[in-house]
Amino acid sequence: MAPRYASSLRSLLAPLLLSLQTSFIVIYAFCTEVEHDVRVDGTTFSNFYAGTFQFFKAYFSISLAEFQDVNLMVILGFGFVCTFLVRYGFSGSGFNLLVAVIATQWAIILNGIESLYHRGKIRIDLRSLVVAELCAASALISIGAVMGKTNPVHLILIALLEVPTVKSIMLLHIFGAFFGLMLSWILYRKGSEQRFEKEKFDSKTGLFSMLGTLFLWMFWPSFNSVLVDDRTPGRKLGAVCSTYLALAVSAVTAAAVSVLSSPKGKLNLMHMQSCILAGGVAVGVSMSVIQQPWEAMTIGFTAAVVSTIGFRYLKVHMLLAFQCHDTRAILSTHGLPGLLGWLMHLILQIKDCDSHTVAIQFAVFHICALLITIALSLLMGIFTGLLLKGNFWRPPQDKKCFDDQAFWEFPHLAVRK
Amino acid sequence: MAPRYASSLRSLLAPLLLSLQTSFIVIYAFCTEVEHDVRVDGTTFSNFYAGTFQFFKAYFSISLAEFQDVNLMVILGFGFVCTFLVRYGFSGSGFNLLVAVIATQWAIILNGIESLYHRGKIRIDLRSLVVAELCAASALISIGAVMGKTNPVHLILIALLEVPTVKSIMLLHIFGAFFGLMLSWILYRKGSEQRFEKEKFDSKTGLFSMLGTLFLWMFWPSFNSVLVDDRTPGRKLGAVCSTYLALAVSAVTAAAVSVLSSPKGKLNLMHMQSCILAGGVAVGVSMSVIQQPWEAMTIGFTAAVVSTIGFRYLKVHMLLAFQCHDTRAILSTHGLPGLLGWLMHLILQIKDCDSHTVAIQFAVFHICALLITIALSLLMGIFTGLLLKGNFWRPPQDKKCFDDQAFWEFPHLAVRK
Amino acid sequence: MAPRYASSLRSLLAPLLLSLQTSFIVIYAFCTEVEHDVRVDGTTFSNFYAGTFQFFKAYFSISLAEFQDVNLMVILGFGFVCTFLVRYGFSGSGFNLLVAVIATQWAIILNGIESLYHRGKIRIDLRSLVVAELCAASALISIGAVMGKTNPVHLILIALLEVPTVKSIMLLHIFGAFFGLMLSWILYRKGSEQRFEKEKFDSKTGLFSMLGTLFLWMFWPSFNSVLVDDRTPGRKLGAVCSTYLALAVSAVTAAAVSVLSSPKGKLNLMHMQSCILAGGVAVGVSMSVIQQPWEAMTIGFTAAVVSTIGFRYLKVHMLLAFQCHDTRAILSTHGLPGLLGWLMHLILQIKDCDSHTVAIQFAVFHICALLITIALSLLMGIFTGLLLKGNFWRPPQDKKCFDDQAFWEFPHLAVRK
């Protein structure tokens, strides 16, 4: 039976949302301006500006179509990937939307602090929206690990605490994955080794999440290329082609490894959804050093192998040995392919270096960047987890986990049952 | 049990569709040309033309990607928003497609009458297609109010009668909402106070309509910016950013208000679907005077509050007190946010006026525009409703309302049951 | 009960996928380069190149948005169109993805052989990806005919054998349809006259395939225009408008004919999904000679009539008289409208010819092109079918046809039932 009253929502969620949103509006009122607000002083300057603007448009700016591609991934892709649970579809897609829009508004402010200091205003244009949505994606990855065992207040606080610590768009998958893993470790519930009754998919919810997955898969080339500097002609299109090939190889390889590792010799739908994206994640991390199609394809192949094997064996192991109950398997979907991409970046960059000194310098820098990212994500994950632990935030009871009825009105079902 | 024979379709729908479509083809044969049909007389003119054309392209024309965004909203967004009813999904999406394509073809002719008079031909290009689809959107909003209680013949006649009276793209939401409300009043069925047995959603149909809603939500920035004149650099992108922010604020606010107004303190899926769009509607109406992000965000906030409270309390009130059975709650989804946007437009414009005279002139003009729009929509709605009342058009029986089996073949179900 | 072990997947699919993918990576390593790999020798050349590149970009190249539109159709559109079977959704969308990415990688190699001979490398850019996806679409059409009665090994072999014989993008629908028809004839199973138990749709799977259909419908204008040469200004946009109008007319006409031909006077969902696309297929074939909107609309009208009548009567006839069990009705969806488009092309071209000699020359050439395409598709279809017949490839047993459980793990269902 559904709980009669969702105390966590009325007394916590609504005040949190309203106060957050009001604060954002006040901050935006004093600190931001949109691009169309340009004032030009005279004809000469106007012409000059127009020329600059054209140049700017051609090489640096982000088109409406690219913005929409990223928006599709963040809102629809990540949202519908979370609908695979048989009774958690409304929460999966609805909470994803809430977290995405709050994290995006928050990230715009945080990313603009420097510009606020220098120019007095944060400029909002398609580029700042896209960068903010990429930061939001990091939070959306993390909440996948604790999905179903938290209430929306938890999810929003996670996003608020995680977004300020995302420092590198390149490593956002690794950051998000380890952050989420620590959360799931701290927020571990006793008895999770036995599967929750409602933690499963059926033939229809599997198709809904297939839809979300395909949107992520199809628009990953835009995701990886959107921030590539297009001053060198073709650099951006090269990123699109490399990512497409890596994704294609991942899809084929994930299917093969899923069959080989299955006791019954069958395909697993969850593998076909998580692991076909591995190539996109790995190539995204190592994009800047990929020169040839076969490099992208090899990375896609290795990433899919690592990701599928990780999903098959590591997910259970993490639960039983480390008490990390990772609902959406973000370790094998985002973490492992991200690490692989980082390694490939290192290898390919060193191979291209002319002198040993440069190579060693790069290696040290590259390894430090990873270690700092992982250390930061582990620490912040543990900190956030500890903050969210406890009954103050009113987490759903064990038997209400993975159930929409804890949070959503079902007027007609109530009448029937 | 399903009716054995759908008399309304065989004897009314098929002849109506065939005669309409044949007439359209004949009218198009004599009155239209597509853009590629340009004939140039010589090299000089050709060069001159090419230059003009480039200029035209850069500043006024609509790109393929923008056309596809609007097309996605009209066909997929509005179509899948109508699939929330548990047994009415085929009709919801299928009839939406039928009405959309007929209304678009019809609107192209009506919008081109002036150009037909001056130049002898109606030119069909992406711009005329987009404008026609926006007019069609107005009809798609109206039919939301009578969805489930009408047959497709009704819906097509509504579209044919409504499209010619849409005079202002800016006020199309207000026009569509009041038109639809009058229809639902005139076509009111006795006994509607007690809920129809099949007028409900379940966990799967809720996700289908969530999908449609997210498509509307994601592409609303394109919807609002598609007709913005781009001669001032950045004006269009400013519209995109403002709409995105307003939609983000709406999503957060709608969730908060839905929880606060719920007796059980829970979220309501229908609110999360209708009311997150309120910001897009309101900002669309007041787009031309919005200068700052916070203005768009405040409008989004207010619109979501008004829309969610309207959905929670006004929908039942409209049914019981005014006998308007508004299936898709178009009054609170499109009507109220549209009115709010109109009011904000008035306030912001007056605030910016230098002299009192100009301000009063503008206010009078602005109020008249609204009153004429509402009067026209109410009158046309009542006229259309009276025309469609009666058994000549064979409306579905009460117990066949909200049921696909009245209109669609289910060969296998028939065998089973 | 589901089979305990999917022998066809473990021993055939996994080795096939891994060896194929490894070979592709090796071939790509030696033979391909991506566009960004351009090396310029000096400043002068670089500037020269930049100018050329701009020109190239403006007129010949394919934008990221156009690539994504085609990608959406091939991966999501064709994938979700195949989800209409009540228990075959995972296979429908998953196998479609597998076949699409393998066929695309294979087609890039095959289409680049000439360039490999001349320049030593195959260049991979958005254009080559799009052309390869169009070739893949031909294979995706064919496998629709044998869907549900084959395993993924069959489907991949079909794609590998079909893609090299696709010679004309223009006639790919006709080629795919006749190829698939021959496959379904050779792979005919005794007893198929009686419907398979699971070959049916329900109210939810019908909506999933409606979603796929709408994506095909919405992006068909991009599909038809993507390879149109844009050197004549407006030619591409003309193709978009013509295709849109033809699709709109098809939707209206298919609904009317579906109702008229129904014994109960009702609409049929499968007609509304297959036959609304007929106009897009037919106009795609005859695109180059269409000058006026009404020509496109008339073609759309006729194509929808032919397609709907073909679906209603021909599908059963093909099964009973010719033993072709065409699961997705590709003959009436792609074959008949394609032939009609071919005929319209012939008529319109001859009408425009100035002299009889030219007209006759064109007619002979045009008829020969069709006959060669059909002969090739029939022969290759029969050859492929014979190769795939027999128990070596371990086709699913009759009672496991149209059932996901033959290929996919259902851990939780297994526990329950």
pLDDT, tens only, C200-229: 899 999 999 999 999 999 999 999 998 887
Q: CA triplet B360, B364, B370: central angle to 5 degrees?
A: 145
Model confidence band, residue B5 (pLDDT cutoffs 50, 70, 90): low
Closest residue in chain A to residue B292, using alpha carbons only: A33
Chain A closest CA to B195's CA: distance in Å? 10
**Interchain contact, A255 vs C17, CB within 8 Å:** yes
Phi, psi (5° rounding) for residue A129? -60, -45
Contact B210, B82 (CB under 8 A): no
Q: Which residues of C touch A252 (CB under 8 A)?
A: 17, 20-21, 98, 101-102
What Rg value do the Cα atoms of chain C yield, rounded? 22
Residue B191 has pLDDT above 90, yes or no: no
The neighbours of chain C, by the rule of 3 or more Cβ pairs under 8 Å, are A, B
For residue B56, the number of C-alpha atoms closer than 13 Å in the C-beta half-sphere is 10
Strand partners of residue B173:
none
pLDDT in tens, C138-166: 999 999 999 999 999 999 999 999 999 88
**Interchain contact, C6 vs A225, CB within 8 Å:** no
Model confidence band, residue C50 (pLDDT cutoffs 50, 70, 90): very low
**Interchain contact, C200 vs B411, CB within 8 Å:** yes
Chain B closest CA to C283's CA: distance in Å? 15
Q: Which residues of C touch A257 (CB under 8 A)?
A: 14
Q: Which residues of A touch B242 (CB under 8 A)?
A: 34
Q: Nearest-CA neighbor of C206 among C88, C90, C86?
A: C86
Question: Which residues are CB-contacts of B220 (< 8 A; sequence separation ≥ 6)?
Answer: B73, B243, B247, B277, B280, B284
Q: Which residues of C touch A267 (CB under 8 A)?
A: 9, 90, 94, 407-409
Cα–Cα distance, A209 to A273 (Å, whole number): 8
C-alpha separations of B150 from A6, B88, B145, B183, B319 in Å = 38, 12, 10, 11, 17
**Interchain contact, C294 vs B94, CB within 8 Å:** no
Of C207, C242, C260, the CB nearest to B34: C242
CA B330 from chain center: how many Å?
Answer: 10
Residue C390 has pLDDT above 90, yes or no: no
- What pLDDT is recorded for position B53? 36
| ipTM of this complex | 0.91
Residue B413 has pLDDT above 80, yes or no: no
Q: CA triplet A140, A146, A147: central angle to 5 degrees?
A: 70
Contact C50, A229 (CB under 8 A): no
Q: CA triplet A187, A193, A197: central angle to 5 degrees?
A: 95
Q: Which residues of B touch C294 (CB under 8 A)?
A: 25-26, 28-29, 32
* pLDDT (mean) for B29-38: 72
The neighbours of chain A, by the rule of 3 or more Cβ pairs under 8 Å, are B, C
**Interchain contact, C13 vs A255, CB within 8 Å:** yes
- What pLDDT is recorded for position B40? 35
**Interchain contact, C17 vs A249, CB within 8 Å:** no
Window from A179-183, B41-45, C118-122 with minimum mean pLDDT: B41-45
- What pLDDT is recorded for position B244? 96
pLDDT in tens, C348-363: 999 888 889 999 999 9
Number of A–C residue contacts, CB under 8 Å: 180
Mean pLDDT by 10 residues, chain A (417 residues): 66 94 96 61 32 37 88 96 94 96 96 89 91 95 94 95 86 94 93 83 94 96 86 81 96 96 92 95 92 94 97 91 92 96 94 89 94 94 94 88 91 49
Residue B49 has pLDDT above 80, yes or no: no
What Rg value do the Cα atoms of chain A yield, rounded? 22
- What pLDDT is recorded for position B42? 31
Chain A closest CA to B177's CA: distance in Å? 26
C36 or A387, greater pLDDT = A387
B48-402 folds as Ammonium transporter fold (1.10.3430)
Cα–Cα distance, A271 to A283 (Å, whole number): 19
Mean of all residue pLDDT scores within chain A: 88
* pLDDT (mean) for C373-395: 93
**Interchain contact, C256 vs B21, CB within 8 Å:** yes
Chain A closest CA to C283's CA: distance in Å? 27
- What pLDDT is recorded for position C61? 66
Q: Which residues of C touch B71 (CB under 8 A)?
A: 218
Mean of all residue pLDDT scores within chain C: 88
C-alpha separations of C54 from A46, B297, C58, C125 in Å = 25, 39, 6, 15
**Interchain contact, A276 vs C38, CB within 8 Å:** no
Cα–Cα distance, C304 to C173 (Å, whole number): 15
**Interchain contact, A408 vs B266, CB within 8 Å:** yes
Phi, psi (5° rounding) for residue C33? -145, 150
pLDDT in tens, C309-337: 999 999 889 998 999 999 999 999 999 99
Contact B245, B296 (CB under 8 A): yes
The pair of structure tokens assigned to A276 is 């076909």
Of A18, A29, A408, the CB nearest to B256: A18
Closest residue in chain C to residue B83, using alpha carbons only: C207
Of C72, C79, C105, the CB nearest to A248: C105
Phi, psi (5° rounding) for residue C230? -100, 20
Q: Which residues of C touch A63 (CB under 8 A)?
A: 65
Model confidence band, residue C413 (pLDDT cutoffs 50, 70, 90): low
Residue C55: which H helix or E strand, with range? helix C43-59
Cα–Cα distance, B13 to B18 (Å, whole number): 9
Of B204, B241, B291, the CB nearest to A125: B241
Of A34, A90, A93, the CB nearest to B293: A34
**Interchain contact, C234 vs B204, CB within 8 Å:** no
Q: Count of CB atoms within 10 A of residue B39's CB?
A: 4
Mutation pick from C9, C39, C84 vs chain A, by most beta carbons of A within 10 Å, is C9
C-alpha separations of A108 from A32, A36, A115, B357 in Å = 10, 17, 11, 40
Q: Nearest-CA neighbor of B402 among B136, B39, B90, B44?
A: B90
Contact B328, B144 (CB under 8 A): yes
Cα–Cα distance, A89 to A81 (Å, whole number): 10
- What pLDDT is recorded for position A416? 39
Locate the DSSP E strands across B204-265: none
- What pLDDT is recorded for position B147? 93
Give the β-pairing of A32-34 and A122-124.
Answer: parallel
**Interchain contact, B24 vs C301, CB within 8 Å:** no
Q: Which residues of A touch B241 (CB under 8 A)?
A: 34-35, 124-126, 129
Of A242, A256, A276, the CB nearest to C18: A256
Strand partners of residue B32:
B122
Q: Nearest-CA neighbor of B370 among B142, B228, B168, B105?
A: B168
3-state SS, C108-159, equals HHHHCHHHHHHHCCEEECHHHHHHHHHHHHHHHHHHCCCCCCCCHHHHHHHH
Q: Which residues of B touch C253 (CB under 8 A)?
A: 17-18, 21
- What pLDDT is recorded for position A37? 43
Q: Nearest-CA neighbor of C281 among C246, C314, C241?
A: C246
At position B121, the amino acid (one-letter code) is: K
Of A20, A50, A129, the CB nearest to B241: A129
A40 burial level (CB within 10 Å; 0-12, 13-18, 19+): middle
Q: Nearest-CA neighbor of A341 among A400, A416, A284?
A: A284
Window from B132-136, B311-315, C95-99, C116-120 with minimum mean pLDDT: C116-120
* pLDDT (mean) for B204-231: 92
- What pLDDT is recorded for position B4? 59
Mutation pick from A25, A109, A151, A213 vs chain B, by most beta carbons of B within 10 Å, is A25
Q: Nearest-CA neighbor of C146 among C412, C393, C342, C359?
A: C393
- What pLDDT is recorded for position A153? 95
Q: Count of CB atoms within 10 A of residue C317's CB?
A: 11
Q: Count of CB atoms within 10 A of residue A51's CB?
A: 10
Model confidence band, residue B352 (pLDDT cutoffs 50, 70, 90): confident
